[in-house]
Amino acid sequence: MRRIPIIVTAALFVLVSVGGGFAQTPRAGGTLVWGRGGDSVTLDLAQATDGESIKAGIQVLENLVIFGKDSMNVEPQLAESWSVSADGLTWTFKLRKGVKFHDGYPFNARAVYDSFARVIFKEHPYHGYGQWKYVSLSLAPVKDIRVIDDYTIALVTEKPYAPLLNNLALWLCPIVSPRAMAEHKDKIGMHPVGTGPFKFKSWVKDDQIVLERNPDYWGEKARVDRIVLKSIPEPSARLMALQSGTVDIADDLDPDSIALVKKNPKLAVIERPSINVGYLAFNTQKPRFQDPKVRVALSHAVDKETIIRSIFAGLAIPAKNPFPPSIWGYNDKIAPYAYNPQLARKLLEEAKFDFNSEIELWAMPVSRAYMPEPVKTAELIQSYFAAVGVKAKIVRHEWGAYLSKTQNGEHDLCMLGWLGGNADPDNFLYGLLSADTAKPPAANVAFWKNAQFTELCLKAQKTFNKAERTQLYLKAQEIFHAEAPWIPIAHSTIVRCYSKKLHEVPLRPNGLNSFQMVWKEK
Amino acid sequence: MPFGYLGRRLLHLGFVLLGVSLVVFLMLRMIPGDPARLLLGEFASAEDLARLRAQMGLERPLPVQYGLYLGRLLQGDLGQSLRNGAPVAAEIAQRLAATVELAVAAMLIATFLGIAAGVVSAVRPYSLFDTAAMLLALVGVSMPVFWLGLMLMYLFAVRVPVLPLMGRIGMGNEPEALTGLMLLDTLLAGEGEAFLEALEHLVLPAVTLATVPLAIIARITRSSMLEVLQQDYVRTARAKGLDESVVILRHALRNALLPIVTVLGLNLGLLLSGAVLTETIFSWPGLGRYVVDSLMARDYAAVQGCILVFAAILAVINLVVDLAYAALDPRIRIHA
């Protein structure tokens, strides 16, 4: 009989041990230390262009709408719902009630009006207090803002523009306290006041930014008490800081360092496909690249898998379309141009390509996530072209000059890339490849003017039904593939390395996340 | 008293700074790279670029830009950062204290150890100590600061964690920023533990930064001392029966100090101009990183402001060195 209590006790012990290993209870409290590669420039996100500013600012500031936790689908945030008028010109937003800014000012339609109007209307009293940078990516389509009542606001666009909702989810459209804007004026970037789960506490330049939990947050309260964003510019030092426990999260580590992190039992890594693309654009204005057969031939000459292995250290996927699979509307049915030097040579001969002339291959002078080592990549591509008999000379310019010259069409082929911040296919397709953007200074550095492709993009801009827009974009990608104005090279993988003491660490494809739900073991 | 001399030197300083402001203004604009385009990068539309250039005032003719800049400068306004619109003077002030603290700590280490090593080497030339010291000096001058810093960090902050990895003080222990000098602020706040913590944080970056000047000072001290020890007055001092330490320190070293003081001044000026590599490795929030980041972004106002501050610092150091000459050598007179 004595055995029964022992058996029961043992069974209970096993159950508790096993059960305890399955799920840990989130714990409130603690300080999350985040090691970044640099300091923020400004915390007024309407003026921000750099990732470090955005990473810090989005903990404090919120938008009308936001991208999902691990995706790029648009969800409500300070706006509970929205509708679009029949003519597609007026977007009406119903705002969340009972929300306050960190300084106690009530969130309402007036706050939304001031936050947006200061960016686009020169006559707004706060317009002169900032440098509004990427307006074309955010609020440029808006020509009027109407406060309907305290909790209803309407944005009126110049013409129907379906991607506007995605624009509003960008960091560039935060809602800032009008009281703070009036008080801090041109120093609002040093004193951000929003509605977010964290409040701004202090900022020692080039050292750290400290944010504290907002106990009055309208949604689920943040779990950690504090976030300290440390500026650690040297990647090796950042890795050592993560390994030693000085920081809990380290961003932007080198690929070799990521391999070390993966081997460390105390550390974890998340990887996600990002929303960027690195590409090689043909200047289709130049006679030798006007024939699509030449472009398709050279597409067969490039070994993208080797580029990914040796340049991206495996942290990328080969690209076949102008935008990555993490964005809706991606045409996965398209068969990529396989690496086939023999076929490339054959197609070039059929197109009567002049093998005696030398082409200029322009390499970016700066490193980007979508092109981490541009010169080495250019050298690899140069060798692939040489293997099919095409002589290429690598040309380099200072970055500003590189952008100016490529936008004026001075190149034969140029390397570039794009980060589709608003995760809408329009951002890539219309913005980088339509006939409208092929005029100098051109965003369409292939200077490719395909009327049918452009027509599909314009139609999709005015279509508010996502399924219909998807069909238009699928077709557009088929045209792109057939004509090959680019050789899309890769979509990089975004990586976050962190201590296993942290739980529920998020990672969006654009790398920008609120750390509201992250919790830390004692 | 050379008040007239001081006044003349300060007047010279004014002209020097004016000249520096013009040269730097022109040189920055000769470097390829448009600040607006660098800020916005490949994601800029033509409208965004035009708007930002107008906001930055880059559309105005160069003489107008310089005139406006000079007008503000004469009122003590170093302008606004093109990157974030913050006053450049405030941005520099926040970082200058950190650089001063690091540079002075490094110079103190380099000066005491360098002079000591140089004196001992000169007094015992070609001995084992001399050979070892000069060899170490050669290694110190040749070793990349970047590599040394990372190695020290790995050895003493990760492998055998006796010192902190980075920063100026532990998180949450920052004192009220009265002077911006962490050691002084913790002392003024009466926080002994925080003072020790700030000192611990200073060790690795200061030692890293001190390596090259220490090597230079040791070698200069040795050669200067060797020359002075051959002089007749040293032989006389010894003949008079003075203690050897008195002969070395009071008679020889004092007379050997002139070239050493020159080197000290030069090195201090260089360190105060920003030790960007050391600051980068140890995440030290100083002026070196700021000026390099500003240059890369073509933040004209920030770079101009920093260089003016560096020029002023160097001019003041040169003045102090010149006055020190007169103090060290009575034969040198300051003429008003």
Per-residue model confidence as pLDDT tens digits over B95-127: 999 999 999 999 999 999 999 999 999 999 999
Amino acid at B14: G
How high is the pLDDT of residue B274?
Answer: 66
How high is the pLDDT of residue A3?
Answer: 52
What average pLDDT does this structure show over A68-78? Answer: 85
What average pLDDT does this structure show over A129-146? Answer: 91
Q: How far is CA A45 from CA A58, A177, B215, in A?
A: 8, 13, 47
Residues of B in contact with A236 (CB under 8 A): 150
Amino acid at A154: A
Q: What are phi and psi of A504, to 5 degrees?
A: 55, 45
A contact test, residue of B30, B31, B42, B47 with most A CBs within 10 A? B42
pLDDT tens digits, one per residue of A37-71: 999 999 999 999 888 999 999 999 999 999 987 66
- CB pair distance less than 8 Å for B84 and A136: no
- CB pair distance less than 8 Å for B282 and A240: no
Amino acid at B257: L
How high is the pLDDT of residue B53?
Answer: 86
Amino acid at A183: E
Spatial separation of the C-alpha atoms in residues A360 and A362, rounded to whole Å:
6
Got the DSSP string for A451-490? HHHHHHHHHHHH---HHHHHHHHHHHHHHHHHH-SEEEEE
| Letter string b/e over residues A25-40, b meaning 16 or more CB atoms within 10 A of that residue's CB | eeeeebebbbbbbbbb
Nearest to B127 by CA among B212, B213, B226, B211: B226
Better pLDDT: A6 or A144: A144
What's the per-residue H, E or C state across B234-298?
HHHHHHCCCCHHHHHHHHHHHHHHHHHHHHHHHHHHHHHCCCHHHHHHCCCCCHHHHHHHHHHCC
pLDDT tens digits, one per residue of A152-201: 999 999 999 999 999 999 999 999 999 999 999 989 999 999 999 999 99
Cβ atoms B291, B306 nearer than 8 A: yes
Give me the interface pTM, i.e. the ipTM: 0.84
What average pLDDT does this structure show over A510-516? Answer: 89
Better pLDDT: B251 or B150: B150
How high is the pLDDT of residue A444?
Answer: 96
CA distance B222 to chain A (A): 36
What average pLDDT does this structure show over A19-24? Answer: 52
How high is the pLDDT of residue B45?
Answer: 82
Q: Is 80 exceeded by the pLDDT of residue A13?
A: no
How high is the pLDDT of residue A19?
Answer: 42
How high is the pLDDT of residue A78?
Answer: 98
How high is the pLDDT of residue A17?
Answer: 45
pLDDT, averaged across chain B: 89
Kindly report which listed range (A101-110, B67-76, B204-213) carries the lowest average pLDDT score. Answer: B67-76
β-partners of residue A495 are A271
Spatial separation of the C-alpha atoms in residues A20 and A14, rounded to whole Å:
10
Q: Which two tokens stand for residue B163?
A: 């010192």
How high is the pLDDT of residue B331?
Answer: 76
Spatial separation of the C-alpha atoms in residues A461 and A472, rounded to whole Å:
10
Q: Is 70 exceeded by the pLDDT of residue A2?
A: no
Spatial separation of the C-alpha atoms in residues B168 and A278, rounded to whole Å:
39
- CB pair distance less than 8 Å for A233 and B280: yes
Better pLDDT: B47 or A157: A157
Q: Is 70 exceeded by the pLDDT of residue A381?
A: yes
Q: Cis before residue A441, ω within 30 degrees of 0? A: yes
B contact test, residue of A39, A41, A188, A227 with most B CBs within 10 A? A41
pLDDT, averaged across chain A: 92
Alpha helices (H) along A357-434: 374-387, 399-407, 425-433
Model's pTM, two decimal places?
0.86
Q: How far is CA B164 from CA A87, A237, B146, B175, B288, in A?
A: 62, 12, 18, 18, 21
Dihedral (Cα; A169, A173, A174, A177), 10-degree rounding:
-140
β-partners of residue A91 are A84, A155
Residue keyed to tokens 């302008």 = B79
Q: Is 90 exceeded by the pLDDT of residue A437?
A: yes
How high is the pLDDT of residue B8?
Answer: 85
| CB within 8 Å of chain B, chain A residues 239-268 | 240-241, 243-244, 246
Q: How far is CA A279 from CA A187, A402, B113, B218, in A?
A: 39, 15, 55, 54
Spatial separation of the C-alpha atoms in residues A178 and A172, rounded to whole Å:
17
How high is the pLDDT of residue A1?
Answer: 44
Q: Which two tokens stand for residue A379?
A: 């050298």
Nearest to A434 by CA among A463, A455, A412, A418: A455
Nearest to A231 by CA among A255, A211, A267, A203: A203
β-partners of residue A155 are A91, A145
Contacts of A163 (CB under 8 A, 6+ apart): A422, A424, A426, A427, A461
- CB pair distance less than 8 Å for B51 and A233: no
- CB pair distance less than 8 Å for A133 and B39: yes
Cβ atoms A66, A74 nearer than 8 A: yes
Q: Is 80 exceeded by the pLDDT of residue A138?
A: yes
pLDDT band at B334 (very low <50, low <70, confident <90, very high): low
Which residue is closest to A187 within chain B, CA to CA? B86
Nearest to A515 by CA among B18, A503, B176: A503
* A230 touching chain B per CB within 8 A: yes
How high is the pLDDT of residue A60?
Answer: 98
CA distance B20 to chain A (A): 26
Residues of B in contact with A189 (CB under 8 A): 84-86
A contact test, residue of B28, B39, B45, B145 with most A CBs within 10 A? B45
Cβ atoms B121, B256 nearer than 8 A: no
Kindly report which listed range (A24-28, A362-366, A471-475, B244-248) carries the lowest average pLDDT score. Answer: A24-28
Q: Crossing angle for the helix pair B192-229 and B254-272, nearest 10 degrees?
A: 130
Query: Burial of B256 by CB count in 10 Å (0-12 exposed, 13-18 middle, 19+ buried)?
Result: buried
pLDDT tens digits, one per residue of A438-489: 998 899 999 999 999 999 999 999 999 999 999 999 999 999 999 999 999 9
What is the Cα gyration radius of chain B? 24
Q: How far is CA A189 from CA A40, A46, B289, in A?
A: 10, 9, 21
Indicate the residue of A206, A419, A421 with minimum beta-carbon distance to B289: A206
Residues of B in contact with A137 (CB under 8 A): 43, 45
Alpha helices (H) along chain B: 3-30, 35-40, 46-56, 62-73, 88-123, 128-142, 145-153, 182-188, 192-229, 232-239, 244-246, 254-272, 276-281, 287-296, 300-328
How high is the pLDDT of residue A18?
Answer: 44
Q: What is the DSSP letter of B179?
A: S
Q: Is 90 exceeded by the pLDDT of residue B58?
A: no
| CB within 8 Å of chain B, chain A residues 4-33 | 31, 33
Kindly report which listed range (A3-7, A260-264, B160-164) carries the lowest average pLDDT score. Answer: A3-7
What average pLDDT does this structure show over A384-406? Answer: 94
Q: What is the DSSP letter of B190?
A: T
- CB pair distance less than 8 Å for A42 and B84: yes
Q: Which two tokens stand for residue A313?
A: 């250290």
Which residue is closest to B96 within chain A, CA to CA? A205
CA distance A231 to chain B (A): 7
Kindly report which listed range (A153-167, A199-213, B47-61, B136-150) carries the lowest average pLDDT score. Answer: B47-61
How high is the pLDDT of residue B3?
Answer: 65
How high is the pLDDT of residue B1?
Answer: 47
The size of the A-B interface in CB pairs under 8 A is: 130
Do you know the residue count of chain A? 522
How high is the pLDDT of residue A20?
Answer: 42
Which residue is closest to A46 within chain B, CA to CA? B84
What average pLDDT does this structure show over A424-431? Answer: 94
- CB pair distance less than 8 Å for B283 and A233: yes
How high is the pLDDT of residue B251?
Answer: 85
How high is the pLDDT of residue B9?
Answer: 84
How high is the pLDDT of residue A21?
Answer: 43
B contact test, residue of A45, A399, A404 with most B CBs within 10 A? A399
Contacts of A118 (CB under 8 A, 6+ apart): A46, A124, A125, A126, A127, A129, A130, A181
